[in-house]
């Protein structure tokens, strides 16, 4: 039988759909997130049958995709097969079209997000649109971007400590969080301002254990990709830095950074989007209760976004007795991000300087 290019694209897209099983990284994420993230709750329902049978979902998806223009199918396929690594344009489709799977009704964008990224997705309130998208900031447009990789899941913070962690054994001490030890060399950020450099909103330092690798990266653009290996990557490429660290653990974690993270300055603060295939761990003063005595480390799963820094909160925070704050550089507050490995109360590593690969992001609050 003669097969059209359109039908071939539809078949390739269906083969590239997101797995429904709740195993792998998502399943391991249902236990110990030092500060917490909503993925633990989401992964447990991934195997549910609320979305209808596989056959029904396949028939509906094929029916929807066959109504999409061929060039739009190619855009969707590029985004899905590269897992967001390739720069794909927006996929603008009608936002008002509803589809029904089992007993549930979904908009067209929601259906595509469920099929190609998050089978456990229940409501649009769980999502955050990335700032690179044409539909970012628009309210109820007639056409909305349905590119699944122009979206992220919102990371919701929890207030209880987990009882265990998949990353390591029990904590070696009851610190209730982490204490701060300012790494040597961050005073370089002062020189950036005094040298007449264009105004930057943050600088980024990359560390492997206790050693800083490369120079500080000054950020002027609203968005920055920090990655090890990213197709068409443009930003801070960690893979190009020269490192003398021969540790097998460092080399293993370095290879897992992959697409890394996206750091974006938005009207309500600075957001971090985890583009990699492994969790990242974040500590920030504005993520926690202002009355807390120590800062928690928050686990952020692949595909999730978290508002890592809030300028308004940062300016109002006053902790005169907190060593964390008294040691901050004069240029602003600091956020620490570790790739793959966590630290703090639920991990054997008590300090971020024990983590194999991590970032120090220093915000300019002037």
> Which tens digits make up the pLDDT trace of 166-221?
443 322 222 234 433 334 344 454 555 445 555 889 999 999 999 999 999 999 99
CATH number of 5-15+54-154: 3.90.520.10
Three-state SS letters, 153-199:
EECCCCCCCCCCCCCCCCCCCCCCCECCCCCCCCCHHHHHHHCCCCC
**Whether the domain at 5-15+54-154 and the domain at 202-318+328-363 fall into the same CATH topology:** no
> Which tens digits make up the pLDDT trace of 74-116?
999 999 999 999 889 999 998 777 777 666 777 889 999 999 9
Q: How far is CA 333 from CA 11, 133, 294, in A?
A: 49, 28, 15
pLDDT of residue 198: 58
> Where in the chain are the domains?
5-15+54-154, 202-318+328-363
Task: Answer with the residue of higher pLDDT: 317 or 229.
Answer: 229
DSSP reduced 3-state for 237: strand
pLDDT of residue 204: 97
In this predicted structure, the answer to whether residue 67 has a pLDDT above a threshold of 70 is yes
Residue 242 CA to its chain's centroid (Å): 25
In this predicted structure, the answer to whether residue 270 has a pLDDT above a threshold of 90 is yes
Residue 152 carries which DSSP code?
A: E
> Which tens digits make up the pLDDT trace of 299-346?
999 999 999 999 888 877 755 555 554 455 443 489 999 999 999 988
pLDDT of residue 274: 98
How confident is the model over 124-129, as a mean pLDDT?
A: 94
Q: How far apart are CA 337 and CA 359, in angstroms?
A: 5
Q: How far is CA 103 from CA 100, 153, 155, 159, in A?
A: 7, 23, 27, 33
In this predicted structure, the answer to whether residue 24 has a pLDDT above a threshold of 90 is no
In this predicted structure, the answer to whether residue 38 has a pLDDT above a threshold of 50 is no
Q: Please give the structure tokens belonging to residue 331.
A: 């240029």
Pick the closest to residue 107 from 123, 128, 84, 130 (CA basis): 123
**Taking all residues of the chain, what is their mean pLDDT, rounded to a whole number?**
79
Q: Please give the structure tokens belonging to residue 63.
A: 């029916």
Pick among 3.40.50.80, 3.40.50.300, 2.60.200.10, 3.40.1400.10: CATH of 202-318+328-363: 2.60.200.10
Q: How far apart are CA 139 and CA 75, in angstroms?
A: 24
pLDDT of residue 168: 37
Pick the closest to residue 257 from 218, 223, 230, 284 (CA basis): 230
């Amino acid at each position: 039988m003669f097969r059209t290019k359109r039908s071939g694209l539809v078949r390739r897209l269906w083969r590239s759909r997101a797995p429904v099983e709740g195993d792998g990284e998502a399943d391991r994420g249902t236990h110990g997130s030092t500060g917490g993230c909503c993925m633990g709750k989401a992964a447990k329902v991934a195997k549910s049958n609320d979305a209808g049978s596989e056959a029904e979902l396949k028939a509906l998806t094929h029916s929807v995709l066959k109504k999409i223009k061929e060039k739009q199918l190619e855009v969707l396929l590029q985004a899905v097969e590269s897992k967001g690594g390739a720069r794909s344009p927006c996929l603008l489709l009608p936002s008002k079209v509803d589809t029904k799977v089992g007993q549930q009704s979904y908009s067209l964008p929601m259906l595509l997000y469920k099929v190609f990224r998050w089978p456990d997705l229940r409501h649009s309130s769980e999502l955050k649109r990335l700032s690179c998208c044409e539909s970012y900031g628009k309210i109820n447009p007639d056409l909305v971007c349905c590119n699944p990789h122009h979206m992220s899941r919102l990371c919701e913070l929890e207030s209880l400590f987990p009882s265990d962690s998949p990353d390591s054994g029990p904590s070696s001490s009851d610190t209730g969080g982490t204490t701060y030890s300012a790494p040597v060399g961050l005073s370089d950020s002062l020189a950036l301002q005094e040298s007449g450099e264009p105004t930057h909103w943050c600088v980024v330092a990359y560390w492997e254990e206790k050693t800083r690798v490369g120079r500080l990266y000054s950020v002027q653009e609203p968005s920055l990709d920090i990655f090890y290996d990213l197709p068409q990557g443009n930003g801070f490429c960690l893979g190009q830095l020269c490192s003398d660290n021969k540790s097998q653990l460092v080399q293993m974690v370095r290879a897992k950074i992959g697409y890394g993270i996206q750091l974006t300055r938005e009207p309500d603060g600075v957001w971090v989007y985890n583009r990699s295939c492994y969790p990242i761990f974040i500590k920030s003063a504005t993520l926690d209760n202002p009355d807390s005595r120590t800062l928690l480390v928050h686990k952020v799963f692949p595909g999730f976004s978290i508002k890592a820094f809030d300028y308004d909160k940062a300016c109002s925070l006053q902790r005169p007795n907190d060593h964390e704050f008294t040691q901050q550089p004069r240029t602003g507050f600091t956020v620490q991000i570790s790739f793959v490995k966590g630290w703090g109360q639920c991990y054997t590593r008590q300090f971020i300087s024990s983590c194999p690969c991590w970032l120090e992001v220093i915000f300019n609050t002037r």
